[in-house]
Amino acid sequence: MRLNSNDRAETILRDLIERNNENKKYYYMLEKCLHLTNTDDKTKLYENLMEKYPKADAPKQITLHFLTGDPFAKAVGSYLQRGFQKGVPSLFQSVKFLYAASEKVQIIDSLLRTYYTNLTKYGTFETPADKANCVEESEPTTSLLWLQYYLAQHYDYLGDINKAFEYINQAICDTPTLVELYMFKAKIHKHAGDFQTAASWMDEAQSLDTADRFVNCKCTKYLLRANRIETALEIAGKFTRENSSPGEYLREMQCMWFELEIARAYRRLK
């Protein structure tokens, strides 16, 4: 591109996208190479790329950056529905960047409320034109679960703690065995400043999957932030070497996040 060989650069960039269609940098460089500046031209490019790489997330997310109004509503609606249907726990994190634009947040909020109403009433994201066909068009039963999970994250991020609790409690009531729900309820309590209750809910999550190291680490951290040091050491000990003190083992392994959290806990107890 610096040599003004844009045709050659385009070929190379398309080859790179073929190899790794989740690298956003390649797409942005292709835009620059093709001198695309207006939304219509960008939309055409990404429509072609999404058709060629239907499973790739990167081109879908990039279009959500520059689209606005109705085209954005259609694109983000399709993206969210696909995530709810597949049951993607990280869906909110995938679109969190959109929350920097208030107008896009309003569109997302409106879509979510519509989806929730329609799923609970008809079992579909959209209002069915013919209720007789409602059964055939019904979404997977798990779509409502993942919508509730997303709504809890959505309202927690917007600072509406009461609504966040409302949706996460509904999700737990409907599906009491999903670890992610308990973990996020703990996070809401943490954001509300209730570290003791947050630690209790994270401990509940850990009890549902005692073999998950990530959940174990989260539980240990939450317990330390609630100043429950002995319980935290007991939980951490499930993944440390046998016949050794969990605290000494983690210090030996230079587990710095643990050392920092336990030091802060002791300081708070003074």
Confidence at residue 127, expressed as pLDDT on a 0 to 100 scale: 81
Backbone angles phi, psi at 158, to 5 degrees: -80, -5
- Quick: pLDDT tens for 206-218: 999 999 999 999 9
How far from each other are the two terminal CA atoms of the chain, in whole angstroms? Answer: 61
Give the whole-angstrom CA distance, residue 181 versus residue 33.
44
Question: What is the overall mean pLDDT for the chain?
Answer: 92
Confidence at residue 220, expressed as pLDDT on a 0 to 100 scale: 96
Instruction: Decide if 219 contacts 258 (C-beta within 8 A).
Output: no
Element housing 183 (H / E): helix 179-191
Residue 41 pLDDT greater than 80, yes or no: yes
Confidence at residue 234, expressed as pLDDT on a 0 to 100 scale: 92
Instruction: Decide if 64 contacts 76 (C-beta within 8 A).
Output: yes
Domains of the chain: 1-66 (no CATH), 68-176 (no CATH), 178-270 (1.25.40)
Q: Which long-range contacts (CB under 8 A, 24 or more apart) does 82-91 make?
A: 83/146, 83/150, 84/115, 84/125, 84/139, 84/143, 84/146, 84/147, 84/150, 85/139, 85/140, 85/143, 87/142, 87/145, 87/146, 88/146, 89/146, 89/149, 89/180, 91/146, 91/150
- Quick: pLDDT tens for 191-205: 999 999 999 999 999
Give the whole-angstrom CA distance, residue 53 versus residue 59.
9
Residue 244 pLDDT greater than 90, yes or no: no
- Quick: pLDDT tens for 105-152: 999 999 999 999 999 999 999 887 645 554 547 888 899 999 999 999
